[in-house]
């Protein structure tokens, strides 16, 4: 059964963040809050953990479009080809924030994603998510947790999330009620930025 940990966003307790990071380092799966919906995540360096996430989503890992959740833009060069100044300005303006940016993947992607031409980068405006990634030292591979109820789409109550996921993941964070609007997805791999999905983030950013 999963651990259920309360962490406050305004001032995340470092001891609780350490517990979360330990689970990730041991190949565990976590459910954690972002600035949009709750996410299911694991350590980007752990292939077995990523395979578990893909299995939960019912897809093959190499076909999965997971987001890379980063603490800031400093990890970009690890996973993304060199980007031009206008693109960087958009990222700088929008992040941290409720956006997923599709960017050209670099040759140094984890081997699971080697064939991928693009990657989705997230820097959520949420202290808990960013504290976890900062302490872990590399991004989390993440996907949002959808609800089976088509009307609701996303579960926002951490206790209900725990009830449903306690035997599937290793740790669930109660970071308060989540949002039920997903991130805005913007493709920056072509000449003109293209909005793939309009979500919580305003498209005016581009």
In this predicted model, what pLDDT tens digit does every residue of 131-180 receive, in sequence order?
999 999 999 999 998 776 666 677 899 999 999 999 999 999 999 999 98
Average pLDDT over residues 116-123: 93
143's torsion region: left (phi>0), alpha (psi -120 to 50) or beta? Answer: beta
Collapsing DSSP states into helix, strand and coil, what is residue 122?
A: strand
Rounded to the nearest 10 degrees, the angle between the axes of helix 127-136 and helix 14-25 is 60
Calculate the dihedral angle through the C-alpha atoms of 187, 66, 135, 3, rounding to the nearest 10 degrees.
Answer: 140
- Which residues span the domain enclosing 12? 3-205
Q: What is the pLDDT of residue 53?
A: 96
Mapping DSSP onto H, E and C, the string for 9-25 reads CCCCCHHHHHHHHHHHH
* Count of domains for the chain: 1
* Mean pLDDT calculated for residue range 92-120: 90
CATH number at residue 59: 3.90.870.10
């Amino acid at each position: 059964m999963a651990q259920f940990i309360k962490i406050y966003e305004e001032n995340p307790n470092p001891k609780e963040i350490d517990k979360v990071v330990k689970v990730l380092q041991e190949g565990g799966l976590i459910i954690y809050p972002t600035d949009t919906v709750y996410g299911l995540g694991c350590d980007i360096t752990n292939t077995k953990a990523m395979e578990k996430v893909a299995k939960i989503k019912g897809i093959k890992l190499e076909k999965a479009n997971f987001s890379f959740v980063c603490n800031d833009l400093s990890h970009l060069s690890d996973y993304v080809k060199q980007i031009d100044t206008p693109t960087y300005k958009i990222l700088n303006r929008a992040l941290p924030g409720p956006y997923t940016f599709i960017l050209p993947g670099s040759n140094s992607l984890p081997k699971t994603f080697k064939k991928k031409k693009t990657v989705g980068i997230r820097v959520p405006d949420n202290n808990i998510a960013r504290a976890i990634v900062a302490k872990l030292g590399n991004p989390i591979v993440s996907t949002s947790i959808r609800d089976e109820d088509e009307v609701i789409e996303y579960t926002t109550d951490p206790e209900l999330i725990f009830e449903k996921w306690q035997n599937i993941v290793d740790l669930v964070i109660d970071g308060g009620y989540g949002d039920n609007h997903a991130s805005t997805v913007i493709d920056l791999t072509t000449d003109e930025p293209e909005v793939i999905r309009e979500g919580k983030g305003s498209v005016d950013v581009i």
